[in-house]
Amino acid sequence: MAEEPASEKKGKAIILVVDRDPHIRDLESHFLHQAGYSVGFAEDGNGALQQALKTPPDIIITEILVPALDGLSLCRRIKADTRTRETSVLIFSILAAEGRAREAGADAFLLKPLAENTLINTVRELLDARIARIRRTQHAS
């Protein structure tokens, strides 16, 4: 059975931000907190994977260029694991690699630099789509 969205369990969506740049993490955190989300952080892909397996977030926002396990590999591992496959993955990168991100299973792709409205609108769309997808799955079973 698919994991119930963290946002439905606790009433507040949980977003895990994976970026090695502390300035980007701080900006994303500021914008996401202002929009009402709970935010966690990881500096590398392995740390993000371990956090996600322990407590699946609603969304993972990851740069491709992160140490230990790159963002594309992280996305593939998240989508392949039954415990985390319902977690939406947003690749947010300096690399123009939308095609590679989609092939890895990403639900969305944004090219840096950071734009608050674009980030928040994309997060809202991913959360709406995720909740609708899980409800359809629950009705079908």
Q: What is the pLDDT along the chain (141 residues), one digit of tens a residue?
A: 344 444 444 568 999 999 999 999 999 999 999 999 999 999 999 999 999 999 999 999 999 999 999 999 999 999 999 999 999 999 999 999 999 999 999 999 999 999 999 999 999 999 999 888 888 888 887
Q: Which residues on adjacent β-strands are paired with residue 132?
A: none
How high is the pLDDT of residue 11?
64
Per-residue b/e over 14-42, b at no fewer than 16 CB within 10 Å? Answer: bbbbbbeeeebbebbbebbeebebbbbbb
Q: Residue 108 — φ and ψ, nearest 5°? A: -155, 160
Structural Rg of the chain based on CA atoms: 14
How high is the pLDDT of residue 92?
97
How high is the pLDDT of residue 134?
80
